[in-house]
């Protein structure tokens, strides 16, 4: 039988081992792209369409390995898609890395081209938005900032960023009058819940990184505050300090996956980049959206 001393030593060894293994695993997961296939039915669509989505690349030489970006392009190009949706946060702070990233994204292949919207990190500096738009467009990627275009019978639209703007979804959606199957690109998923008066057969968003750290049975760490009373949050200084952050990232709980509001649908990508290259229970993703006519 083990003595108390042996049990304590074993416990300390396990904790110490976990302190080494967990960060190593978090770094490994952050660099491990996962393929997601998402079937979505769309009213009024007369034929199936395949859409590849990449989000939150955060290319800055720190938050995503270059090999992951190259691998994502290879994965998309092997899917034979109809169009590519890029849902923002191409860089993290400085816009300069877009000049390395945009030509690689310009190599994405699809029948009808690549379409992009910008995220909050693409607007951090006064000149970020202009430089990133210009670099993407120079690489053949259409930036849909409060405008829409048509891909067959599908209307593909995009908004400016919710936080930094210019954000004018009515300019995109009002002319469609709810008569056209609509795919909307909007970086922040909070926009979806504000647009219930419009027809949005599918909105594609990112922004959340899926929560980046998700605990089994509990979900994203940032969302755990919702389950605690205000008294508990105020009592614990650490929680009190973290409390505003969840509402700052998103006010909804649409962290990752497929959501629905009446007939409108939203898919939130976990994205590719991870701050500090850490990810637990939330691997980066390349997404294939399979649109099919609703029965």
Position 15 scores a pLDDT of 42
Bond preceding residue 16 cis, omega within 30 of 0: no
Q: pLDDT per residue over 190-242, tens digit each?
A: 999 999 999 999 999 999 999 888 778 777 776 665 565 666 556 555 555 55
Residue 1 pLDDT class (50, 70, 90 cuts)? low
Does 25 reside within a domain? no
Does 6 reside within a domain? no
Write out the residue range of the structural domain in which residue 40 sits. 33-217+258-293
Does 81 reside within a domain? yes
Q: pLDDT per residue over 116-132, tens digit each?
A: 999 999 999 999 999 99
Does 224 reside within a domain? no
DSSP assignment letter at 161: B
The C-alpha R_g of the chain, in whole angstroms, comes to 21
Q: Picking from 84-93, 122-131, 176-185, 224-233, which range would have the lowest pLDDT averaged per residue? A: 224-233
CB atoms within 10 A of CB 251: 12
E strand residue ranges, the chain: 34-42, 49-54, 83-87, 114-117, 141-143, 147-151, 154-158, 182-185, 202-205, 214-215, 219-220, 257-261, 264-268, 285-293
Taking CB atoms within 8 Å and a gap of at least 24, the contacts of 226-234 are: 226/253
Does 4 reside within a domain? no
Position 101 scores a pLDDT of 98
- Examine the pLDDT at 12 and tell me if it is beyond 80: no
Share of the chain above pLDDT 70, in %: 80
Does 144 reside within a domain? yes
Among the listed residues 183, 51, 207, 226, the one whose alpha carbon sits nearest the alpha carbon of residue 123: 207
Q: Which residues face 35 on adjacent strands?
A: 286
* CATH code, domain carrying 57: 3.60.21.10
Does 243 reside within a domain? no
Position 67 scores a pLDDT of 95
Q: What is the Cα–Cα distance from 81 to 109, expressed in whole angstroms?
A: 8
Total domains, the chain: 1
Does 93 reside within a domain? yes
Among the listed residues 29, 42, 41, 110, the one whose alpha carbon sits nearest the alpha carbon of residue 75: 110
Among the listed residues 71, 165, 51, 181, the one whose alpha carbon sits nearest the alpha carbon of residue 119: 165
Residues 6+ apart with CB under 8 A from 130: none
Position 88 scores a pLDDT of 97
DSSP assignment letter at 251: S
């Amino acid at each position: 039988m083990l003595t108390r001393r042996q049990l304590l030593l074993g416990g300390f060894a396990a904790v110490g081992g976990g302190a080494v293994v967990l960060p190593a695993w978090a770094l490994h997961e952050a660099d491990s792209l996962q393929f997601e296939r998402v079937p979505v039915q769309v009213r009024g669509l007369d034929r199936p369409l395949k859409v590849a989505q990449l989000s939150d690349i955060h290319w800055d030489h720190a938050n995503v390995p270059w090999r992951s970006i190259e691998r994502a392009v290879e994965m998309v190009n092997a899917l034979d898609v109809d169009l590519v949706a890029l849902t923002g946060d191409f860089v993290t702070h400085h816009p300069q890395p877009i000049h390395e990233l945009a030509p690689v994204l310009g190599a994405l292949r699809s029948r009808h081209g690549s379409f992009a919207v910008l995220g909050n990190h693409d607007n951090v500096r006064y000149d970020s938005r202009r430089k990133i738009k210009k670099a993407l467009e120079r690489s053949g990627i259409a930036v849909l900032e409060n405008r829409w275009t048509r891909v067959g019978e599908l209307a593909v639209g995009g908004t400016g960023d919710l936080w930094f703007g210019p954000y004018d979804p009515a300019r995109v959606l009002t002319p469609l009058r709810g008569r056209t199957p609509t795919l909307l690109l909007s970086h922040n998923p909070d926009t979806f819940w504000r647009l219930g008066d419009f027809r949005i057969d599918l909105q594609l968003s990112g922004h959340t990184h899926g929560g980046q750290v998700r605990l089994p049975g509990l979900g994203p760490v940032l969302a755990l505050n919702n389950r605690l009373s205000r008294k508990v949050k105020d009592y614990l200084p650490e929680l009190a300090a973290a409390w505003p952050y969840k509402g700052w990232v998103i006010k909804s709980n649409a962290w990752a996956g497929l959501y629905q509001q009446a007939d409108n649908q939203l898919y939130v990508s976990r994205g590719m980049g991870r701050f500090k290259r850490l990810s637990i229970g939330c691997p980066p993703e390349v997404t294939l959206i399979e649109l099919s006519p609703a029965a």
